[in-house]
């Protein structure tokens, strides 16, 4: 943040100096039709400029003026009954802007160029931190936060770079930013809508199979929230149109600016949340697809519900098969064997512990008993990992764990929070488990990395407030 702040200060200072040095002159072009008589018109209203150069270049009339007195000046082309006119504002520091007090001036393109440099440098730092963080430990909420912010910031960086080639001043930039947020949220809206539909279907399946619970309904609530937030600007606009309290058509009053702020804020929140959701999905899938090195000493198998006869359910069987598959590939690659740690206690409705059921299956599939260490006390994933780690004497050993694919990131995260360095492999499962897992980690990263999100939100909200304030003054000066 200090580096970005220092760079911003330097670039803003340079931009201000450049505009003040070159901004006292301004060049304007008018399209002309030589079939008609025309005349250049200059009307010094409250201000005054001096024409220092004027010439015809093809079908254009080019004029360059220099500021002489602060105020307003009107310039244009007169074709008799019709004409084209533009307003120039001369500031107290003799900088000339077109159309608005915060309009385009000579060399004002230096502002979006400076902003683009700041945004690109910010992206560079974020990408660098993300890569370092993922390399250090993939299973962290901050990786999702970094990726979501990178996606969000990339869009605005690209939009700002494009605006350089058609820069019309700060005033127009405000409108472009508001439109950009609207565009981003609408582009990403199908993701929110599809997520909402898939989450609704998955929640219905989960409720039918696992019963009603707040956790199984979280995705539904998030989907409804994002969809409603996307529609909020239209709802507010319709309300304001009927409201007698605020006039949204009066540019000299607060109405349109209040609406612009609400509109921008709603689109901002939607776009940001959608970017974080995309980041969540990407990191969760990346954690499953990550290829582990064949150097593991231990493989923890995370337990789950077993059948009444003590055999494995398809879900648990998939986890054990994945662990055996990894062991076989490692042995083929470098003849290195590993020790399995089946983990899971005995539930009230289970004849044996989950760990014992896993061991029985391992023995049937050719794993020697000496390569199995039983952990049969744990009741949940955290205890699976914590208790299994206690059984490992060499704390510098290379540890892996096997679970269901949607659960890999969550298990790795819990291990990371315990200070345990472990990598996971995941077995296939039903898609509706994936969707609910995405939502859970999405909510988790919003809470765990709330400071980062608050800083980003606060910064952008402040920028929006400043921009809308500029538009207010531009229309009232």
d(CA 128, CA 118): 15
Q: Provide the pLDDT for residue 331.
A: 94
Question: What is the rounded radius of gyration, in angstroms, for the C-alpha atoms of the chain?
Answer: 32
Task: State the DSSP H helix or E strand holding residue 427, giving kind and residue range, or none if neither.
Answer: strand 422-427
Look at residue 350 and give its three-state secondary structure: coil
d(CA 231, CA 180): 16
327: nearest Cα among 352, 373, 353, 292 = 292
Q: Provide the pLDDT for residue 70.
A: 92
Sequential pLDDT tens for the chain (477 residues): 688 889 989 998 998 899 899 999 999 888 877 777 778 888 888 889 999 988 888 888 889 999 999 999 998 888 766 778 888 999 999 999 888 778 888 888 888 888 889 989 999 999 999 999 999 999 999 999 999 999 888 888 888 788 777 777 766 666 666 666 666 666 666 666 666 676 666 666 666 665 555 555 666 676 677 667 667 766 766 666 666 666 656 656 676 777 777 777 777 777 788 788 888 889 988 999 999 999 999 999 999 888 888 899 988 999 999 999 999 999 999 999 999 999 999 888 788 999 999 999 999 999 999 999 999 999 999 999 999 999 998 889 999 999 999 889 999 999 999 999 999 999 988 766 677 777 778 888 888 888 888 888 888 788 778 877 877 776 666
d(CA 88, CA 105): 10
Long-range contacts of 227-231, Cβ-Cβ distance < 8 Å, separation of 24 or more: 227/192, 227/193, 227/196, 229/266, 229/269, 229/270, 229/273, 230/185, 230/186, 230/189, 230/192, 230/266, 230/267, 230/270
Token pair for 445: 């990263």
| pTM to 2 decimal places | 0.79
Token pair for 166: 């058609």
d(CA 405, CA 274): 23
Look at residue 18 and give its three-state secondary structure: helix
d(CA 465, CA 468): 5
End-to-end CA separation in angstroms for the chain: 35
Strand residue runs (E) in 19-150: 25-31, 39-44, 48-57, 60-69, 71-78, 83-90, 96-98
The 10 Å Cβ neighbour count of residue 242 is 6
Give span(s): CATH 2.60.40.10, the chain. Answer: 24-94
Q: In what order do the strands lie in the sheet with 39-44?
A: 39-44, 71-78, 83-90, 96-98
The residue written with tokens 């055999």 in the block is 311
d(CA 320, CA 361): 8
DSSP 349: T
The 10 Å Cβ neighbour count of residue 42 is 16
The residue written with tokens 């407030």 in the block is 465
Query: Can you say whether the dihedral through the CA atoms of 212, 214, 219, 221 is positive or negative?
Result: positive
Buried b (16+ CB within 10 A) or exposed e, 1-13: eeeeeeebeebee
Does the domain made of 24-94 have the CATH classification 2.130.10.10? Answer: no
Task: State the DSSP H helix or E strand holding residue 469, giving kind and residue range, or none if neither.
Answer: helix 450-476
Look at residue 208 and give its three-state secondary structure: helix
Look at residue 394 and give its three-state secondary structure: coil
Q: Provide the pLDDT for residue 179.
A: 65
Buried b (16+ CB within 10 A) or exposed e, 314-345: ebbbbbbebbbebbeebeeeeeeebbbbbbbb
Token pair for 82: 């019709």
Q: In what order do the strands lie in the sheet with 25-31?
A: 25-31, 60-69, 48-57
The 10 Å Cβ neighbour count of residue 364 is 8
Residue 93 contacts by C-beta under 8 Å, 6 or more apart in sequence?
20, 23
Q: Confirm if 233 and 262 have CB atoms less than 8 A apart.
A: yes
Q: Provide the pLDDT for residue 80.
A: 66
Q: Confirm if 384 and 280 have CB atoms less than 8 A apart.
A: no
d(CA 318, CA 320): 6
């Amino acid at each position: 943040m200090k580096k970005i702040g220092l760079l911003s200060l330097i670039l803003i200072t340079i931009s201000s100096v450049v505009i003040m040095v070159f901004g006292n002159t301004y060049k304007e072009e008018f399209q002309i039709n030589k079939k008609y008589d025309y005349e250049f018109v200059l009307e010094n209203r409250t201000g005054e400029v001096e024409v220092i150069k004027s010439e015809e270049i093809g079908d254009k009339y080019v004029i360059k003026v220099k500021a002489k007195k602060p105020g307003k000046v009107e310039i244009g082309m007169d074709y008799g009954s019709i004409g084209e006119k533009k307003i120039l504002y001369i500031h107290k520091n003799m900088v000339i802007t077109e159309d608005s007090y915060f309009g385009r001036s000579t060399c004002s393109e230096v502002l979006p160029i400076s902003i683009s440099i700041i945004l690109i440098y910010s992206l560079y730092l974020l990408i660098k931190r993300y890569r370092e963080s993922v390399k250090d430990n993939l299973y962290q909420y901050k990786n999702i936060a970094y990726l979501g912010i990178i996606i969000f910031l990339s869009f605005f960086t690209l939009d700002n770079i494009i605006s350089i080639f058609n820069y019309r001043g700060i005033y127009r930039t405000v409108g472009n930013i508001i439109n950009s947020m609207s565009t981003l949220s609408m582009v990403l809206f199908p993701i929110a809508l599809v997520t909402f539909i898939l989450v609704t279907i998955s929640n219905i399946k989960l409720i039918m199979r696992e019963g009603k619970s707040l956790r199984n309904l979280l995705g539904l609530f998030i989907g409804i929230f994002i969809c409603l937030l996307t529609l909020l600007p239209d709802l507010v606009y319709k309300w304001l149109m009927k409201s007698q309290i605020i006039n949204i058509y009066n540019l000299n009053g607060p109405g349109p600016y209040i609406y612009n702020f609400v509109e921008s804020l709603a689109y901002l929140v939607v776009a940001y949340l959608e970017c974080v959701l995309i980041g969540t999905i990407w990191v969760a899938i990346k954690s499953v697809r990550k290829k582990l090195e064949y150097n593991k000493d231990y493989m923890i198998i995370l337990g789950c519900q077993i059948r009444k006869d003590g055999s494995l359910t398809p879900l648990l069987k998939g986890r054990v098969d994945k662990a055996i598959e990894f062991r076989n590939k490692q042995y083929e690659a470098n003849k290195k064997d590993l020790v399995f740690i089946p983990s899971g206690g005995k539930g009230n409705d289970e004849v044996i512990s989950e760990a014992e059921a896993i061991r029985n299956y391992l023995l049937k599939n050719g794993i020697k008993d000496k390569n199995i260490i039983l952990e049969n006390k744990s009741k949940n994933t955290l205890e699976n990992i914590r208790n299994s780690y206690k059984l490992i004497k060499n704390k510098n050993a290379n540890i892996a764990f096997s679970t269901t694919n949607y659960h890999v990131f969550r298990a790795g995260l819990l291990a990371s929070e315990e200070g345990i360095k472990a990598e996971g492999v995941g077995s296939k499962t039903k898609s509706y488990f994936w969707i609910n897992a995405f939502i859970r980690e999405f909510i988790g990263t919003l809470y765990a990395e709330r400071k980062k999100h608050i800083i980003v939100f606060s910064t952008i909200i402040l920028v929006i407030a400043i921009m809308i304030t500029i538009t207010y003054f531009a229309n009232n000066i």
